């Protein structure tokens, strides 16, 4: 499933509480045409730009907004309420729209190929994670994403199984040589990929969640032999504003609540999310299990990688636990030391 992109703020309300929001009506012109849109006071400048892109197909980085505010437009993380916009405000958008051609995943949804040294571990700061989870804007964004999300069920879900949410890029494959064609797909896969999936499949339904479009995701899965193969298993970001070193920055996050809203048989009690980036766990830090990124697939060090073998042992070990909320997945490698090898 392709990840849904959202921007998240950090002003907390009571957990799960939905409060009324003030919406602002705006009018803008672009390419000689007039458009109308709404933004909420809880929204960020990023949300405004995203709304403009949805109406005009002008990418965020190409947008020039004139007449909305005096002087330079505030940064993406600025709140609409702080800009003090008024309804019926008119402005002009200048920018060239983007074509509909398929692009490299690193260019999709205008997300940079962020390296791991910018990662944030929200399990170390549960207070910050709770702020994101309980923020009124974030609650609305998750609800909107749930309504918009189209889920591609490749194989029927099975009653009584746990749910494994599995990232793809740099978690189970080295993305760059795959998209560039410099290595055959089979050589881009993390060692032991199919053995890992076959080992955990008796216990878990498998949800592949990636930032890329469904076209790219399906292509990757086919090339890796995860769809349409004879293997004994089946596979069934939105954006957050966080702080790093006291400074705001945006990044992707995968809100498990979106999946749970579609499939209520799954919850924090029986879901685990495996990813190479801790920041993807921002709204569900207790459900995340981080593994180190898989890169440079052609090197001897990568060929010796055994991370998936270890994760499989851990997942099988906890499969019978009635409530995953009693576990601390961040300590999964420590737990492995006390498990007898197969």
Which helix (H) or strand (E) is 30 found in, with range? strand 23-30
Reported as a pLDDT band with limits 50, 70 and 90, residue 332 is very high
Reported as a pLDDT band with limits 50, 70 and 90, residue 116 is very low
72-104 pLDDT per residue, tens: 999 988 889 999 888 888 999 999 888 643 444
What is the reported pTM? Answer: 0.69
Burial, 230: exposed, middle or buried (Cβ in 10 Å; 0-12, 13-18, 19+)? exposed
Cα separation of 238 and 261, whole Å?
15
Residue 248, pLDDT above cutoff 50: yes
Least confident of 29-33, 62-66, 126-130, 213-217: 213-217
Which helix (H) or strand (E) is 159 found in, with range? none
Mean pLDDT along residues 36-63: 91
Residue 240, pLDDT above cutoff 50: no
Tokens at 218, concatenated: 């399906």
Give, in order, the Cα–Cα distances in Å from 276 to each of 280, 291, 295, 334: 9, 5, 11, 18
Cα separation of 115 and 17, whole Å?
35
Cα separation of 78 and 231, whole Å?
49
């Amino acid at each position: 499933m392709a990840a849904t992109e959202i921007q998240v703020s950090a002003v907390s309300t009571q957990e799960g509480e939905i409060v009324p929001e003030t919406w602002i009506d705006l009018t803008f012109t672009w390419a000689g045409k007039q458009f109308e849109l709404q933004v909420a006071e809880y929204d960020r400048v990023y949300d405004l730009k995203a709304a403009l892109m949805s109406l005009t197909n002008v990418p965020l980085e190409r947008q020039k907004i004139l007449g909305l505010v005096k002087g330079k437009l505030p940064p993406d993380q600025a709140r609409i309420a702080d800009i003090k916009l008024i309804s019926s405000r008119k402005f002009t958008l200048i920018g060239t729209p983007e074509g509909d051609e398929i692009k490299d995943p690193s260019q999709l949804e205008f997300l940079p190929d962020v390296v791991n040294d910018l990662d944030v571990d929200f399990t170390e700061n549960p207070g910050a994670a709770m702020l994101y989870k309980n923020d009124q804007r974030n609650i609305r964004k998750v609800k909107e994403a749930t309504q918009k999300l189209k889920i591609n069920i490749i194989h029927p879900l099975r009653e009584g199984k746990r749910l494994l949410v599995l990232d793809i890029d740099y978690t189970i494959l080295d993305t760059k040589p795959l998209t560039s064609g410099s290595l055959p797909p089979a050589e881009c896969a993390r060692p032991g990929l199919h053995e890992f999936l076959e080992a955990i499949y008796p216990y878990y339904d498998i949800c592949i969640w990636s930032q890329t479009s469904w076209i790219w995701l399906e292509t990757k899965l086919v090339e890796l032999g995860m769809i349409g193969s004879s293997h004994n298993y089946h596979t069934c970001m939105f954006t957050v504003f966080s702080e790093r070193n006291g400074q705001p920055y945006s990044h992707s996050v995968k809100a498990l609540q979106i999946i749970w809203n579609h499939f209520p048989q799954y919850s924090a009690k029986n879901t685990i999310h495996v990813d190479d980036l801790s920041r993807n766990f921002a709204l569900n830090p207790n459900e995340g299990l981080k593994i180190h990124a898989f890169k440079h697939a052609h090197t001897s060090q990568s060929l010796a990688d055994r991370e998936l073998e270890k994760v499989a042992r851990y997942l099988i070990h906890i499969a019978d636990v009635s409530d995953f909320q009693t576990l601390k997945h961040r300590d999964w490698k420590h737990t492995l030391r006390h498990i007898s090898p197969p």
